Structure 1
Amino acid sequence: MKRWLASLLAPLCVMAHAQDNVTVFGVLDTYLEHVEGTTRLQSGGVSGSRLGFRGSEDLGGGNRAIFMLESGINVDDGTSGQGGLLFGRQAWVGLATRAGDVTLGRHYSPLFFTLVTYGLGGGMGWGNASNYFTDNSVLRVNNAVSYASPSYAGFKFRALAGLGENATQPGANIGNIHSASLQYDSGPFSANAAVETRKTTAANTDRFYALGASYVVGTVKASVLAQARRDDIDAARNDALELGLSIPAGPGTLLLDAGRFRNRSVANAAATALSIRYDYNLSKRSMLYAGAATIRNSARSRFGINGNTGAALAVAAGDDPRSLVLGVRHTF
């Protein structure tokens, strides 16, 4: 009888041990927005809604096998995010060693980590000026090899190479993406510089730059984020600047944000964004948020107010959208 019980329970014990290193996690974020006379429900205001799986296996000697699968979800209608991709947010596998992590698959670029670190309240969400002014198409990279160094004396280095795998022009490197960043943290001060290149045609390469910094005084955090985009054919040259304050207030945080966009390729296509948001913590995992935002567009610019994944309403050139939101986010 004892042998029979042991043989029955042994596979279950092995499964439980394997599952100790696999974590199921997620975010559900949805918000009610009133903008330009329209009231609508959107998914992904502060954070993109998602369901994910991450795990590791100890290989000994300080080495681990690691993986991440993360699927975007539109809570408002139950569909998949990122254009319907199964694991559109992240999908990678690799090794974590004492010399750093090397992973292969679909990744966030080093440029992305700079933007989210120094943008308002975690960056790339509703009320975040850089969220409106950034080309999001370069923030996730397919067919990529990524390296992240361990932290040493406050410094951390990231590098990524994404293979375009262009079938119509093999060997031309069209679609290839390369990105790198250097992070420094010391007490209340933090700074990061990032660069990314994307080969779009045989005659053109897009280049993206970001520089961010933050400083904590008491409990107040001030941050600045500067961006620039350049190309070889003068079709998309622009600059953006964002300033943010994060101020603890009661059971939550008051977030103030201002940003400016300047188009160097098109005249009269600048924009200024202003926002205020309050994040009210119901618990460690649940939060309510409310805010107001506006963008002042120049005569030939048409920026709208979007959330992390919630899309902006179409804006006519020169119009100035205004948005009021009330949302809820739960993490697990």
Structure 2
Amino acid sequence: MKKITRAAICLVTAMPALSYASGNVTLFGIIDTSIEVSNVGNGTVARMDSGGQLGSRFGLKGTEDIGGGNTVNFMLEQGIGSNDGTAANPTLAFSRQAWVGMAGTWGEFRVGLQNSPVYIYVNGYLDAFTVATIGSAQASFQTLIPRSNNAIFYQTPRIAGLVAQFMIGLRDQTTKPMSGAASYHIGIEYDRGPVSAATGFQRLQNATNSSVLEVFTVGASYAFGPVRLYVGLNNARQSDGSLNKNAYTTSLAWTINPASQLSFGIGHASDRTSADNDGNQIGMMYWYFLSKRDTLYFSAAFLKNMHKATYTMNGATTVGIPVAYAGADARGIQFGIQHRF
């Protein structure tokens, strides 16, 4: 009884401190689940997906005001499978992001596991589908490394609609050599009035330093009243010659009313190796916003592979069903619901 009493006293005494410490910490997440019916060359397949429009996740984020207009910030984020409850990567406690940093009028600085500037900041300017659901040709055709371990990140203040991000990913005990930079990421955005544009670059060495992937991405959009037109280009090259590809996309988003939006798009993947394995896709997506936190969506797409191409329809974090054979076409529809908290 004495031990129980002491524990209770300690808990009550600690409650103000716990309340203060957690005052600026937010639990957040996204639950995104969809049902996909598709044909990838061997008959109709139905499956339930997690992360069709945005990757399902949960996490903690926080900020602490340290005075002078400066804050200390952190984020811990884990990807999950909302269709089966599994962790996106069961070997990691936080597979999407785990960083701490500072921000102020001078910009923002972070260290840790982070999203690449090209993945989050640049991608949003390319595509009326936000590079998500099976309707997006960008999601099907682009090559991109979404995040980096051991990353050092800096973002400039936004000036006249212009902002830039720079990130370096360091090597560690899982790579050879174990020191030095493994990746470089740059993103530059412009957003003012009806015009939005962005460009980004990634350079990533593999774990053994035997090959280098370089990715260049650029896109822009312009709003004509309720309609916004997008164009995007993604170029990816592997130094060993295994990859040399351009992905071109054009799409538009029509805001029908505050509760609904319709997106259409086409895309072409151009294989610049001697294999000449190209692909074309046409897609659409309808969004219905039940509230600020809840969205219903419907997507449909037809993807034509040429020669021995094996492209398939991907979601935001959902890998598409592989085509039955090289050169097979893919087609499908997708119904989803998303909740944010």
Asked if Structure 1 and Structure 2 have the same fold, meaning a TM-score greater than 0.5 normalized by the shorter chain, the answer is: yes
Alignment partner for residue 72 of structure 2, among 55, 65, 75?
A: 65
| Equivalent in the alignment of 2:100 | 93
Note if contact 2:307-2:326 (Cα within 8 Å) is conserved in structure 1. yes
Alignment partner for residue 36 of structure 2, among 27, 33, 37?
A: 33
Note if contact 2:176-2:209 (Cα within 8 Å) is conserved in structure 1. no
Q: Alignment partner of 2:124: what SS?
A: helix
| Equivalent in the alignment of 1:262 | 270
Matched, 1:299 2:307: yes
Correspondence 1:142-291 to 2 at 5 A: 142-165=149-172, 169-170=176-177, 173=180, 176-200=182-206, 202=209, 204-250=211-257, 251-291=259-299
**1:92-134 per-position Cα deviation (integer Å, ceiling 9, x unaligned):** 1111122111111111111112113322332244322111122
Residue identity opposite 2:281 in structure 1: A
Residue identity opposite 1:267 in structure 2: A
Distance 1:291 1:204, change over 3 A: closer
Q: CA deviation at 1:231?
A: 3.5
Q: Distance in 1 between matches of 2:154 and 2:128?
A: 26
| Equivalent in the alignment of 2:6 | none
| Equivalent in the alignment of 2:335 | 326
Note if contact 2:162-2:191 (Cα within 8 Å) is conserved in structure 1. yes
Note if contact 1:117-1:123 (Cα within 8 Å) is conserved in structure 2. no
Q: Distance in 1 between matches of 2:13 and 2:70?
A: 27
Q: CA deviation at 1:330?
A: 0.8
Q: Distance in 2 between matches of 1:329 and 1:75?
A: 10
Q: Which moved more, 1:249-258 or 1:288-297?
A: 249-258
| Alignment gaps of 5+ in structure 1 | 1-6
Q: Distance in 2 between matches of 1:19 and 1:121?
A: 36
Residue identity opposite 1:305 in structure 2: M
Note if contact 1:159-1:181 (Cα within 8 Å) is conserved in structure 2. yes
Q: CA deviation at 1:260?
A: 0.8
Distance 1:202 1:10, change over 3 A: closer
Q: Distance in 2 between matches of 1:190 and 1:168?
A: 38
Distance 1:9 1:152, change over 3 A: farther
Q: CA deviation at 1:83?
A: 5.8
Note if contact 2:143-2:215 (Cα within 8 Å) is conserved in structure 1. no
* Structure with higher RCO (Cα < 8 A, 6+ apart): 2
**1:191-228 per-position Cα deviation (integer Å, ceiling 9, x unaligned):** 11111111235554221101111111111111111111
Q: Alignment partner of 1:24: what SS?
A: strand
Q: CA deviation at 1:170?
A: 2.3
TM-score (norm 2): 0.89
Correspondence 1:128-143 to 2 at 5 A: 128-136=136-144, 138-143=145-150
Q: Which moved more, 1:19-28 or 1:224-233?
A: 224-233
Residue identity opposite 2:167 in structure 1: L
Note if contact 1:247-1:254 (Cα within 8 Å) is conserved in structure 2. yes
Q: What value does the CA root-mean-square deviation take over the aligned residues?
A: 2.1
Distance 1:122 1:147, change over 3 A: same
Residue identity opposite 1:199 in structure 2: Q
